[in-house]
Amino acid sequence: MANRPVRFDFQTDLEGTLKYVHDIPRSFVTPNAQVMQHDPKYIKNFVAAMQPIMLEHEAACRAASNPKCQNCGSPTAKVLQTPMSWLHLVDEPFINVLVNPVCDKSDCEMRTRQQIQDMMAEVTAEVQEAEEYAGKLRDTVEVLPLCAVQGRGILWKGAPEGGLEGA
């Protein structure tokens, strides 16, 4: 299976962003990677590929994180590492990993996981809105003022072979 180097940005409290590069299967880096994230087989393969990378950097992430639980202030027992894939950006793919320190209380872990899930849903919605807006812009037509010579408008987008219409 062919691999491709991808940047991993681990977002920590104390040290900021820890940057690493890892080879991952090239099949994950695709313009439709966001759509594929709903495919159970893709999810299974993605998780299997990410687990060893997350494990490799767990100690560094913990050392770079707040020693206290972000919810209750108790000593940190572990860090939650949540990868957010930006593999649809095929020219410069990366994975942003959120690192959240939590204590050993299940309530704090569940609360943190819910906060992460809510934030990811918000980011996903913002990205989808931006992509939809960009798509609408691609489908728009711009009519410029009347041509002084022929008295007609010039239609830029949507013209045959990308040329001008009405000139």
Whole-number mean pLDDT of the chain?
83
Q: What is the DSSP string of 145-165?
A: SPPTTTS---B-TT-GGG--B
Average pLDDT rounded to a whole number, residues 105-115: 95
pLDDT of residue 145 exceeding 90: no
Average pLDDT rounded to a whole number, residues 69-88: 94
CB atoms within 10 A of CB 98: 19
pLDDT in tens, 6-16: 999 999 999 99
Give the per-residue pLDDT at 76. 96
pTM of structure? 0.72
% of the chain beyond a pLDDT of 70: 77
**Residue 44: exposed, middle, or buried by beta-carbon count in 10 A (0-12, 13-18, 19+)?**
exposed
Domain boundary assignment for the chain: 3-138
CA dist list (Å): 110 to 69, 70, 83: 12, 12, 17
Q: Are 66 and 75 in contact (CB under 8 A)?
A: no
Please give the structure tokens belonging to residue 18: 């820890």
Rounded Cα gap, residues 15 and 11, in angstroms: 8
Please give the structure tokens belonging to residue 37: 């994230």
pLDDT of residue 57 exceeding 90: yes
Average pLDDT rounded to a whole number, residues 13-37: 91
